Structure 1
């Protein structure tokens, strides 16, 4: 192998290593994981977190979350109402840690408190975030 080919291969290897390290650093700095699920059943089966309030008919589910931690948001298409045995409308005290393209403005007067989640109507579905405020969670725990 000629010296110029050897130099070219070394340069290519170095650039590849820098690129891979750069991607890993970018992911670590961003500290956000995005996922897409076609249906609510896929969310239940494959997502590491849970959203028990998510209606069974939900489709096109988008999530953003902190890997290995609580903060998460979820946007889903659904025509079903929220389960009134899980969710109660309360004054909003919380806000999402992440955003999802297409999500509504979360700074509304009231939210549905659904356990650890705060949920609001979205265009054609629902938008929720966790964790919610302790007062929101407490209100949902008093249902029934």
Structure 2
């Protein structure tokens, strides 16, 4: 008979835990955004100019409300395009919009989006927005932040 013993649970788990730790550390060092985006089923893109964004927008067409002088364009959307948050810098007003009552809230606050974009000075929430097609849009800083939230299965912004 052999004097071999079975490895302990700790001996079996140590390489697994060490590997997971290395993966998490690597993800943290790389900004982990791609890994987290994949886990959350979202994609995000950034463009320096409107023309770059118009060519490279992912999933759907670039939103029509974005002025063509926009710079620093950001898109954060679910894989199925049912939810999105868009931010742009622009001195121009958003295109084709009307004053409206806010219907919803952005589904997420990406790193580039201001967490307080809907807050009033008294701590309440902004009640009025621009309704720009399927997007709700608010001014913030030197530009605009807009969001789309599907109201039915399979809906994407037009």
Q: Is the shorter-chain TM-score for this pair beyond 0.5, marking a shared fold?
A: yes
Change (3 A) 1:29 1:109: same
Q: Deviations over 1:67-114 (max 9, x none)?
A: 13221111111000123xx21011111111121334242331101001
Structure 2 counterpart of 1:31: 41
**1:94–1:132 Cα contact (<8 Å) kept:** no
CA distance in 1, matches of 2:35, 2:72: 29
Q: Distance in 2 between matches of 1:56 and 1:112?
A: 18
Give distance in 2, aligned partners of 1:132 and 1:121. Answer: 22
Tell me, which stretches of 5 or more residues in structure 1 are unaligned?
A: 1-10, 135-144
Instruction: Report the equivalent of 1:73.
Output: 85
How many residue pairs were aligned?
Answer: 118
Asked whether the equivalents of residues 55 and 81 of structure 1 are also in contact (C-alpha less than 8 Å), the reply is yes
* Structure 1 residues 100-139: aligned runs within 5 Å: 100=110, 101-103=112-114, 104-106=116-118, 107-131=125-149
What is the rounded CA distance, in whole Å, between the counterparts of 2:88 and 2:145 in structure 1? 7
Bigger share in helix: 1
Residue 105 of structure 2 corresponds to residue 92 of structure 1: no
8 Å CA contact retained: 2:129, 2:136 = yes
Residues 123 and 68 from structure 1, CA distance in 2 versus in 1: closer, same or farther, beyond 3 angstroms? same
Counterpart Cα distance in 1 of 2:151 and 2:46: 26
Q: What are the superposed Cα offsets for residues 36-76 of structure 1, whole Å, 9 maximum, x if unpaired? A: 11111222111122210000110011221111322111111
Counterpart position of 1:8: none
TM-score by length of 1: 0.68
**In 1, Cα distance between equivalents of 2:83 and 2:146:** 11
Which is higher, the Rg of structure 1 or of structure 2?
A: 2
The TM-score with structure 2 as length reference comes to 0.63
Partner of 2:109: helix, strand, or coil?
coil
